[in-house]
Structure formats: structure tokens, C-alpha cells
Structure 1
Amino acid sequence: MGLIISNSWLAAFSAGTIFGITSTYLFIKYKGIVVPTAVPMEERFEFPDPKDEYRLILAVRNDLKMQKGKVAAQCGHASVAAYAKALQNKPKTLKRWLRYGGTKITVRIDSEEELLELDKIAKGMDVLSSIVRDAGQTQVAPGTRTVLAIGPAPKSMLDKISGHLKLY
């Protein structure tokens, strides 16, 4: 009697296992569920040409004597403006910049005239640029041009525009 019970237990277990594996396979196959096997290539940070990585330059006016928090906020505005402009006008450039990690370099400029001159040079080279104007609620007058975002663009092009400037 004990031998018969243990044989039917083994048969029931085997049948349940086979049914479970088969139903799981069919469920995955016909419901379109994809089981991840590896990280897709787009999610990896790979640098096709490290000599010419894509960057964003943030040129901050040093003559305004803004406090650190104000400078950080203005650079944030400039970064978002550059991202939005690149998304609309140069999505491939944006994708390349993000593939390089979204590098941002902050440099100092000494006047509004220098800011406008850099903007003119960038536009002449077909490089995106965005000027940030402050709302004037804290440290500077309303409408003051505080930061210029240049790019994203390849480092070789950005060096021609802002390579002479010192880091902020």
C-alpha cells in the first residue's frame, strides 16, 4: 500500500511540473512578454570618438557678482533651455551629447558684450545657443542677460568659440 501512494505522488508532481512549464512558455509566447536577457546597446555609455565628445558650455557673466546659488539657478535655466532647443532643432546632436554623459562646462565671461559676441559666433558656426534673461526678483535687474548656453556640440567646434575662456 505504501508503494502505491508514493508512486501516485511522484506522478502528480511530475504532471504538475510539466503543466507549469508548458503553461508559462505558452503565456510568454502568446502574450508578448519579453524576458530581458541583456542591457540594450542604447543604455550603455559608449564614446565613439573620445577626442571629439559632445559638450555644453555655460558662459556666466562674472561682472554681475551673482552669489553661488544664483549662478547655479541661472546655469540650470540655461541647461534646460539648451536641452529644449536641441530637442526641437537638432535631436541627433542631443542624443550624442547624452551618450557622452551630458557634459557641461562652466566658463566665465566679463561683460554682456562678450556674451553677445559669443552668441553671434556660435550662430555663425551653426551651433545652438541660448541666452538666459533673469526675472529680476532677487539680485539683478529684470531682463539682465546672465548666462549663455553654447551647444550641445562637438568639443572641436566649441573650442573655436569658447576655448580661450577660463573655467568659472
Structure 2
Amino acid sequence: MKQAIVARADIGMGEGKLAAQVAHASLSAYEDTGRQVRKSWKGSGQKKVVLKANGESELFELADAAERAGLPHAVVRDAGHTQLEPGTVTALAVGPGKEDVVDRITGDLSLY
């Protein structure tokens, strides 16, 4: 089991902003996951990886692929209180799900 969080590298988020957006994405996708998947993921150590995307369109392409694969996913839009404009798409979580399925969607991306 694995979850991949893909954050935009093209918008210059500070480290704290990046950490918050990654956390929002992870929790949002987890909350939309079925009970059995949540239990399996928690029992296997809650494996996560944070990856880079270079734009909003790339995040939406990955979200579409996750949808087609039947994986839970969540797109995060910033509220705009600090560094970014309101509604800026910042991150996407894919999974938790079976590691090989998550990797088919996100496996070509670089680590953040």
C-alpha cells in the first residue's frame, strides 16, 4: 500500500506552505478512502512519497488517471491567506492504494 502526493514545483511555495499543502492532500484523499483500504494502509505503515509536478495541468492529468484506475485522490486548492492567490491548485494525493497501481500513475515523477 502506498500514497503519492504530487506538489507543484513551479509556483515557489516556501517549505512550510509545501508541508501544509502536502498534508492537506494526504488527509483529504485518506478521508475519501474506504474502510478496508484505510485499515490496510494504516497496518502497513502508511507509506507515502512526495513528488514534483511542473504545473496545474499535470496535476489534473494525474488526477484523471487516478480516477480511471479507481484510486482515491484529492486535488488541493489554496485558500490564499499567505503566499498564493486564492484557488491556486497546489497538490494532488493519489491513493492510498496498491503500490503497483499508484506507481503506474506517478512512477515517472521525480522526488520533491
Settle same-fold status: TM greater than 0.5: yes
AA in 1 matched with 2:67? K
Q: Which residue in the other structure is 1:149 paired with?
A: 93
Q: Which residue in the other structure is 2:41 paired with?
A: 97
Q: Which has the higher helix share?
A: 1
Q: Which residue in the other structure is 1:125 paired with?
A: 69
CA-to-aligned-CA distance 1:71-122 (integer Å, 9 cap, x gap): 0011111111112111xxx111111110111111000000000000000000
Q: Which has the higher strand share?
A: 2
- Following TM superposition, the consecutive aligned residue runs of length 4 or more in structure 1 with deviations greater than 4 angstroms are none
Q: Which residue in the other structure is 2:32 paired with?
A: 85
Give the secondary structure class of the aligned counterpart of 1:101.
coil
1:24-103 maps to which residues of 2 (within 5 A)? 54-86=1-33, 90-103=34-47
Larger radius of gyration: 1
Q: How many residues align?
A: 112
Q: Which residue in the other structure is 1:139 paired with?
A: 83
Residue 159 (1) aligns with residue 103 (2): yes
Give the secondary structure class of the aligned counterpart of 1:60.
strand
Instruction: Structure 2 unaligned segments of length 5 or more: list them.
Output: none
Q: Which residue in the other structure is 1:10 paired with?
A: none
Greater RCO, CA 8 A, separation 6+: 2
AA in 2 matched with 1:67? G
